[in-house]
Copies of this chain bind each other. A is one copy, B any other.
Amino acid sequence: MKVELVRANASDADVLFAARVSTQGEKTLESAQDAETDASRSKGLINYLMRDRHGSPFEHNSMTFYVQAPIFVFREFMRHRMNSYNEESGRYRQLNGTFYVPAPERNLLQVGKAGAYNFLPGTPEQSELVTAEVRATSTAAFESYQRMLDAGIAREVARIVLPLNIYSSMYVTMNARSLMAFLSLRTTREGSHFPSFPQREIEMVAEQMEDHFARLMPLTYESFNGNGRVSP
């Protein structure tokens, strides 16, 4: 899983000027352009917005990520409809034969009931089986794909045999409010007000996005964590 921050226009100051227009109107413009802030009052205002779910001030910013992940991760990711996406195309391009194989530390056993599964480590034999099956099936599928391409079959037809663990790449742009909704559903954390049970692989992507967010908007991020990781 690879996540790079390509472009960002996102800072805590963007939240503040948008919030202050409610109470200060035209007087906010100067401070918006200066991006100067009074740290302690700013922190209080952001915390109030987060706690009482005034979400719109968290939308006046933008983060663009480049993400490389398997298609089964992208399938979950793209259900988030507030974001902008462009993805590598199996119709326009011959795909690379790069496949995700679960690492040895990936938990393989699912316990508990539907909607609240927990995952535990597999035995060494189970881990070896997964590695062997995933490698063999990926390789066989990619060879089939290449045989069809070699025979002149259109890419959009040949690619249908490729498995869900093939890596793809995309650009995705979102604002902080949408990112917090994503993190709330796609990470598992102690202290979250609402429990989430994401698949580990999308959580690995989410964690990298979270690191960028924490650096860009530290007050917003701290407040998100302090209020149960609920998107405002």
Contact = CB atoms under 8 A, between A and B. Distances in A.
Interface of A: 4, 6-9, 14, 17-19, 21-26, 28-29, 32-33, 48, 52-54, 56-57, 59-62, 64, 66, 68, 70-72, 74-75, 78-79, 81-82, 84-93, 95-96, 100, 102, 106-110, 114-117, 119, 122, 125-126, 129-130, 133-134, 136-138, 140-141, 144, 147-148, 151-157, 159-165, 168-171, 173, 175, 185, 194-196, 199
Given A130-B148, A163-B160, A86 B57 contact: yes
A160 B88 contact: no
B160 A148 contact: no
Stoichiometry, as copies per complex, reads: 4
Contacts of A21: 86-88, 169-171
B163 A22 contact: no
Main secondary structure of the interface of A (DSSP, over half): mixed
A108 B153 contact: yes
Nearest to A156: B199
Of the candidates A19, A82, A86, A110, the one having the most CB atoms from chain B within 10 angstroms of its own CB is: A86
Nearest to A165: B160
Contacts of A122: 152-153
Nearest to A59: B84
Contact of A9 (B9, B75, B152): B9
Contacts of A117: 91, 154
Nearest to A140: B140
6 contacts: A24-B93, A52-B196, A56-B84, A56-B86, A60-B64, A91-B199
Contact of A171 (B8, B32, B195): B32
A181 B116 CA distance: 25
Contacts of A164: 71, 159-164
A91 B113 CA distance: 12
